[in-house]
Copies of this chain bind each other. A is one copy, B any other.
Amino acid sequence: MFAPRAVALVGASGDAAKNTARPQRYLRKHGYKGRIFPVNPSRKEIFSEPCFPTLGDITEPVDHALIMVPDVESVLEDCARRGVPVASIYSDGFADAGPQGAERQARLVGRARALGVRLLGPNSMGVIDIPGRLALTVNAVVEMDALPAGGTSLVSQSGTMLGTLLSRGAARGLGFAKLVSVGNEADLGVGELVELLADDADTRVILLFLETVRDATRLASAARRAHAAGKPVVAYKLGRSAAGEALARSHTGALAGSDRALDAYFRDCGIVRVDMLETLLEIAPLLLDRKPPDLQRPPRIAVVTTTGGGAATVVDRLGLLGIETVSPDGKSPIVDLTMAATPQKYRRVLEQLLDWSGCDAVLAAVGSSAQFHPEFAVEPILGAKQTDKPLAAFFTPHAERSLALLAVRGIAGFRTPEACADAFAAYFAWRAPRERPSPTSAKHEKDAFRLLESLGISVVEQQVARAPDFAHAIPYPVAVKVIGVEHKTEVGGIALDVSEKEFRKHTKGEAVLVQRMVKGLAEAIVGYRVDPVVGPLVLVGAGGTLAELYQDVALALAPVSEAEAMAMIERVRGLSVLRGYRNLPRGDVQALARAVAALSRLCSVATIQEAEINPLIVGAGGVVAVDALVVTKE
C-alpha cells in the first residue's frame, strides 16, 4: 500500500478540472519514483503519458490500484487477474449510500477476500506517504508545492480532514509521514492501519480523526501495540452532542451515552483524546517520545512569560481544566520575567524550571517578540537543555515562522490558549493501556437481587407479601413496592417509611415487595451494560434524579479492580458528599468500590446485556442494594 513500485489509476481523466485527473498530477508533482499507469478506455494518452484501456492491458506488475470508476466490481476482477495486491477505492455508492449500498459493499468485500485483494475504502480519498513521495489521492490539498515531512501519521475517517490537517500543518512546519483516508473501512480499517503504523519506521506519533469506531477490539489491540512501540496514539472523535444521546435507550444507557462509553474506551486503550480539532495537530510534539505521566495528584505547570496578559489567557484556561500553575516563589501563578530580561536569563529560567521538581511541565507564553524578535524569547526556548519534562510554548501574536522553528526542534507550539490547555489536559489524562483483571466467573441469575447476592453485593432484607393478608416478617417501618414495574418513583409505585398502622393502605393487587427501610449517607447508582460499540462497561454515579440531570457518572470498560473502581468514584462530583465534603459524615467508599468491581464481573456472563442497582444505599459501614434490574440478551 505505501511503497508501490507501480500504481494504476483506473478512471484517470485528462480534464484537469476533474477530481479524477488529480492523482496523476499529484504523483508527478511530488516526485513519485515508481511507474504510473493511467487507465481509461477513451484515451490513448493522459498528460503526455500512455494510457491503458483496462487494467488488464498493463503488462508490467502493479502494486496498488486506485479505482475511480463506478464499476468497481469488474476492476476488482482485473486486479486479481493481474496480481494487484491492494486497491484503494475512491468510488462511492456503497455503505455510504444506504442499505442497498451496504449489501453491495458486503458482496464486494466477500469477492475481494476470495480473490486475495486488500481494499482501502470505498469512498476513500487515498493515501499519502510523504517520505515515500507517494501522493496517491484526489484531495486537492496536495496542490501545495511541497508536502511537509515529519514523524506524525494520520488515519482519518474523513477524506477532507486529511487535507485540513496537512494544510494547517504545512503552514507552520508540522510535517507528516503517512496519511490515510479509510473511507467506509470495508476491509482495511482504522485498527489494522494503526498496527501498520505501529511498525512503520517513519511514524512516531499516530493521529486519528474518527466519526465512529467500527472495530473496537482491533483498534484496542492496535493501540496497545503502538504503546509497546513507544508511539502515542491521539484521537479526535465527532458525535459528542446529539449522536450519543440517540443511541441511548435504557436507564443506564441514557446516563452513559455512547460518547462517554468511547471516552472510557480511549482511556482504557491508552489513546489520548483531544477536545479541539487544532489540538490534534498541535499535540504531537508534546507526546513524542514521552510516556503517560500517570500523576496521582492534580498536574502543575510552570508558566514563564514577559507578557502577563497573554500568559493569563492560558493560565485561566488551564485552571478551568483542573491544572494548577505554579512558580518556585510559591506565590505568583506565573514566573513573570520583566521585559528587561535577557535571552540568557530567559533560557536559564527555563532550564531551572525544567529541573525543578515542583512542576510537571514548563510553558513559555511569548508575546510580540515571537513575531518580530525570535532571538529574544523563541531562541531561548529552542536552546534550552531538554529533559523528560515537557517544554511547550504559546505565542500570542500571529507567528507562524516562530511556530515552524519550534516544530523543527520537536517542541510543541500553540496558537491559542484554548488548544494549549486542551493539549496539556489530554497529556495529563493520558494513561498506559490498562491491563484488565481477568474476571472471576460470575453466574447467571434471572432474578436481579439473586444475581447481586451471587456477586457478593448486599441486598436489602425483603420479602414478597401476597394477597389477601399480605403477611411478612420485615420489621417496621418498611418500604412497599409494586412488583414488576420499572421507574417506580415516577408511577407512584413506591411507599417509603410505612408504619405498621399504615401498611395495608399501600398493598395493591396480588402481591407487593416489602423491604426493610434503610437510610444511608447517600445513594449511588451502579450499572453494567454491553455497549454496542465498545463492549462491556461499568458505571457509577450519584443516585437520584439530579445525578442523571447533571450526567455526573464515571464509566470504565469492565471488569475493573477495586482500586480502579475507587478512581472512578473519585471522578464523580456528586459522590464527594461521601468523601467528607463540608464535614458531612464519611461513607463507606471502599464498600461502594467493591460493589462496582463486583458488578463489573458480569462481563464474564455472556447472557447479560445490562444490570443496574439504583439506588445502592451507601452507609458509614457498608452498602445495600434496594432496587435492581437485569436485562438478558434475547
Contact = CB atoms under 8 A, between A and B. Distances in A.
A396 B161 contact: yes
A310 B139 CA distance: 13
B550 A582 contact: no
A573 interface: yes
A60 interface: no
B398 A367 contact: no
Given A161-B396, A211-B312, A547-B546, A242 B319 contact: yes
Contact of A158 (B163, B276, B312): B312
A609 interface: no
B19 A339 contact: yes
A399 to B, nearest CB: 8
A416 interface: yes
A309 B160 contact: yes
Query: Residue among A160, A167, A312, A317 with the most chain B CB within 10 A?
Result: A160
Interface stretch (A233-241, A405-413, A459-467, A554-562): A233-241
A417 interface: yes
A47 interface: no
Contact of A164 (B167, B239, B310, B315): B310
B316 A368 contact: no
A357 to B, nearest CB: 23
Interface residues on A, range: 35 or more
Given A276-B416, A320-B240, A310 B161 contact: yes
Copy total for this chain: 2
A590 B316 CA distance: 38
Interface string A302-316: 000001111011011
A584 interface: yes
A342 to B, nearest CB: 11
B160 A308 contact: yes
A250 to B, nearest CB: 14
Contacts of A371: 140-141, 143, 167
A302 B241 CA distance: 17
A164 B367 CA distance: 7
A19 B369 CA distance: 12
5 contacts: A19-B339, A144-B372, A156-B309, A171-B398, A242-B333
Given A158-B308, A487-B582, 20 more contacts: A140-B367, A140-B368, A157-B309, A158-B307, A164-B367, A164-B397, A167-B368, A168-B397, A168-B398, A241-B315, A241-B318, A277-B313, A277-B417, A277-B418, A278-B418, A545-B582, A546-B546, A549-B573, A549-B574, A550-B574
